[in-house]
Amino acid sequence: MAMASLYRRSLPSPPAIDFSSSEGKKIFNEALQKGTMEGFFRLISYFQTQSEPAYCGLASLSVVLNALSIDPGRKWKGPWRWFDESMLDCCEPLEVVKEKGISFGKVVCLAHCSGAKVEAFRTNQTTIDDFRKFVMKCSTSENCHMISTYHRGVFKQTGSGHFSPIGGYNADKDMALILDVARFKYPPHWVPIKLLWEAMDSIDDSTGKRRGFMLISRPHREPGLLYTLSCKDESWISIAKYLKEDVPRLVSSQHVDSVDKILSVVFKSLPSNFNTFIRWVAEIRIAEDTKQNLSAEEKSRLNLKQVVLKEVHETELFKHISKFLSTVGYEDSLTYAAAKACCQGAEILSGCSSKEFCCRETCVTCVKGPGEAEGTVVTGVVVRDGSEQNVDLLVPSTQTDCTCGPEANYPAGNDVFTVLLLALPPQTWSGIKDQALMQEMKQLISMASLPTMLQEEVLHLRRQLQLLKRCQENKEEEDFAAPAF
C-alpha cells in the first residue's frame, strides 16, 4: 500500500525571503556589515532540526542553550554533556509535548529550569518598537539570543503555532532572520519585523493568550551538580502539591513536639513514586571506556559532586533524617539505584525506551583518576532482546570512620530527602505551634548556615520546585519571572 509523504514545502515568497537566495544573501551581507549578525554564528554552529513534528519549542531551546555554552551538568550520549530535546522535560512530560506541542509559558519554564536567565514577553506586554530594540540587542551580541513563537499563517506558510530562534536583523530593510527548526519543511528565511510582530500578536488556542518572544542569556550559576527534580512521571503534580501545600498544613495542624515528629508527619504521608521526583544526577560512560581510568575532567566533576555530598552529610538536618529513617527500617541500596540508573544510561546511549532494558547484575569498583585519586564506578550489565551492554556509572562518595575502618557513603535516600527539605520555602515550617521547635527547625534549614556549593544546589532545587508549582497551578502562562527567594 502506498504511503503518502511530503518532501519539504515551497517557501511562500513574498512575504518571506529564502536565506540562501541571491536576495537573502544580499540582506545577510548588509546586516553583517552593520554588525547585526553577531548572534548568528553561535546559533548556526549549534543549529538543529526538531526531531518530532511538535518539538519546535524544545529544539529552539536546545539550540540556544548550546549556543550560550550552558553546561547541562549531565550527559546526553556517550561521554558528552549536551542539551538535547530529550533532556528538556522538567516542566512538561515529553509524551505530552510529542502529542500536543508545548506552550510559550512552559518553554520559558524549561529555560529557567535549565539554568538560563530569561526575559519573556507576550505582545500585549510590550510594543513593536520595544520588540525591534530587543531584536537589535540580541543580533549585536553573542551572549543573548531570542526565541519567537508565532503563527505561520501570517507568512502564508502551512501550519499554525511555531517556535524558532531569531538569527539576525537587517535594520535598513527592517527584516529579521528566522532560523526555522523545522528544516524538513522550510529553510531559514527573512521576514519583515512588522509581519513577525503580527504573527506573534495572535492567540494560542491552547492557552487563550497571545504569543510572544523571550530573550535568553547565560545564568549567574550553572544548573545543579548533584540533584535535580523530574516530571517524567505524571505523579510529579501530586508530589509538588504535597510539598508546597500539604506539608505546611500537616505540620501546623498536627501536634508536633520534636524534629523526629515533624519528619514522621512528613514521611508517613509521602505520595507514591516520590523517589521519581528528585534524583541524584548520575554520569554514565560508554562501554569502550569501561576499563579506562577516570579522565581529569571526569575526576574534576566527581570531586565537585563529592564536595556537595559531603556538605549534605555534614548538615544537622541530615543527621536527624538518617536517625529517623533507621528507626522506621528504611533501607537504600546503591546496587538497586545503580541498576535503575544503568538502564536509564542504556536508554540514552541507544535511544530505546528504558522499559525495554533490565539490569542483570552490577559490580562496584574503584577506578584510578589523575595522580593517586580514585573514583567509584558501578558497572551494570544491561540486557535487551537477548543482547548485553555494559554501562558505567560514576558515583560520588564520602568516607566516614567507624569501628571496622573507613566506610564509603554514596548518594542515598537520606541525603536526597535532606536536600529536598532544605529546598522547601522557609515559610513551610512557620505554622509549627511550638515556638522553640519552630526556631529549631528554621535553624536546621537555614541557608545562611550552609556552605556555598550546597547553597547553590539547594537554590537550584528551590527554583525548580517553584517553577513546577507554577505549572501545577497553571500559572506558567502568567508569570515568566525567575523565582525570587
DSSP codes joined into one string, 81-150: E---GGG--SSS-HHHHHHH---HHHHHHHHHHTT-EEEEEEGGGS-HHHHHHHHHHHHT-SSEEEEEEE
Determine the distance from the C-alpha atom of residue 141 to the mean position of all C-alpha atoms in its chain, rounded to a whole number. 24
| Best CA proximity match to 224, nearest among 459, 470, 478, 468 | 459
Which member of 145, 151, 162, 320 is catalytic? 162
Query: Is the bond preceding 192 in cis, omega lying within 30 degrees of 0?
Result: no
Q: Is 162 a catalytic residue?
A: yes
CA–CA dist 426, 430 (Å, integer): 7
Tell me the HSE value of 130 on the side-chain side, using a 13 A CA sphere.
Answer: 13
Residue 1 CB partners (closer than 8 Å, separation 6+):
none
Take residue 278 and report the three cell numbers written for it.
528528585
Judged by DSSP in three states, 388 sits in strand
Task: Take residue 19 and report the three cell numbers written for it.
Answer: 536565506
Let me know if 112 is a catalytic residue: no
Single out the residue of 462, 473, 477, 472 nearest to residue 113, CA to CA: 462
Tell me the three state secondary structure of residue 294.
Answer: coil
C-alpha to C-alpha distance for 294 and 372, rounded to whole angstroms: 11
Give yes or no: 56 in active site.
yes
Return the DSSP state at 16.
-
Q: How many CB atoms lie within 10 A of CB 429?
A: 23
Find the catalytic residue in 84, 180, 201, 204: 180
Give φ, ψ of 107 to 5 degrees. -70, -40
- Active-site residue identified among 56, 90, 231, 471: 56
Q: Are 457 and 106 in contact (CB under 8 A)?
A: no
Q: CA angle, 472 as apex, 470 and 474 as ends, to 5°? A: 65
Where in the sequence numbering do the catalytic residues fall?
56, 162, 180
